[in-house]
Amino acid sequence: MSGTKRVYGLNEKNYFKFFGIEEKHGLSVRSLTTHYKKILMILGKDNSFHGRDRQSFAKRAFETLADPISRARYILEIKNHENDFKDGARPDDMIYSNQLRNQLNEQTTVEDVDAFIEDLKEQTQFIKDQIEQSIDTYHNYKTASGLLNRFYEISEIHQSAKIKRLQIQEGIKHVVFNR
């Protein structure tokens, strides 16, 4: 905002209001970083307990809003929407997760696991885009919550895939038995 003085809500407890930005999922992290640095310059002059507390709050707010998944969870929280993702899992989410786990079990080479991991990365990016659209465009927080659950499930499977890749590289054989 060149030539305009930004008003920060330094006494606000809402992260978006604290930074003086619009409450939405699809925000510019670059712009957020600029605001964060300006706030740190303002707060850096205050060495009192209250000033250090606000600096700590600014850091926590920035870290939350900079990460798209943490930002989505925060938005669901301030909108008073259920965000206990395991309790909110739908049957189709569980079926999908089990299908992915079965696909991972069928992978027996490093190349197969790497291709599987790349597919998971594409899926998580698609999910992040859908979360943003659910929150910003449709204000459908229930769908966003379900997508977050799916994101976390895929993240767990991704970790399992990385472990399996290391095991294969170390010479541990994984075999698939036909049923």
Phi and psi at 110, nearest 5°, equal -60, -40
Report yes or no: 78 and 14 within 8 Å, Cβ to Cβ: yes
Q: What is the pLDDT of residue 130?
A: 96
Q: What is the pLDDT of residue 81?
A: 83
- Is residue 45 pLDDT above 90, yes or no? no
- Is residue 179 pLDDT above 90, yes or no? no
Band of pLDDT at residue 99, cut at 50, 70 and 90: very high
Q: Torsion-angle region of residue 96: left (phi > 0), alpha (psi -120 to 50) or beta?
A: alpha
The pTM assigned to this predicted structure is 0.85
Report the amino acid identity of residue 65. Answer: L
CA distance 25 to 132: 5
Q: What is the pLDDT of residue 178?
A: 64
